[in-house]
Amino acid sequence: MINSKNYLRQVGVPEEQFTFLLNRLEQEIEKDLQNNKMKKRGVQSKVMPTESKLHLTLTYLRHYPTFSNLGSNLWNQ
């Protein structure tokens, strides 16, 4: 995990907000599984835990404009 000093800069949200989002996401996933029983069928894949998925998504969204701008600046020269 990222140290607290660089967390906001790397992920884009404070650690407390990340924890809140993670708890809320897990609640919504559980509620969705309760409402849609068919989603519980089959083998449960645990390739990447929910915390890592959320972290990856927020990091991507935080840095995507940077890469997009960099790419457009390089190709428009």
- The pLDDT tens digits of the residues spanning 14-43 come to 999 999 999 999 999 899 888 987 777 766
Q: Which residue's structure tokens are 């990222």?
A: 2
Structural domain boundaries in the chain = 4-75
Residue 69: Cβ-neighbour burial (10 angstroms; 0-12, 13-18, 19+): exposed
Helix or strand or coil: residue 1?
coil
pLDDT at 28: 94
Q: Is the pLDDT of residue 67 over 80?
A: no
pTM here is 0.70
pLDDT mean across residues, the chain: 81
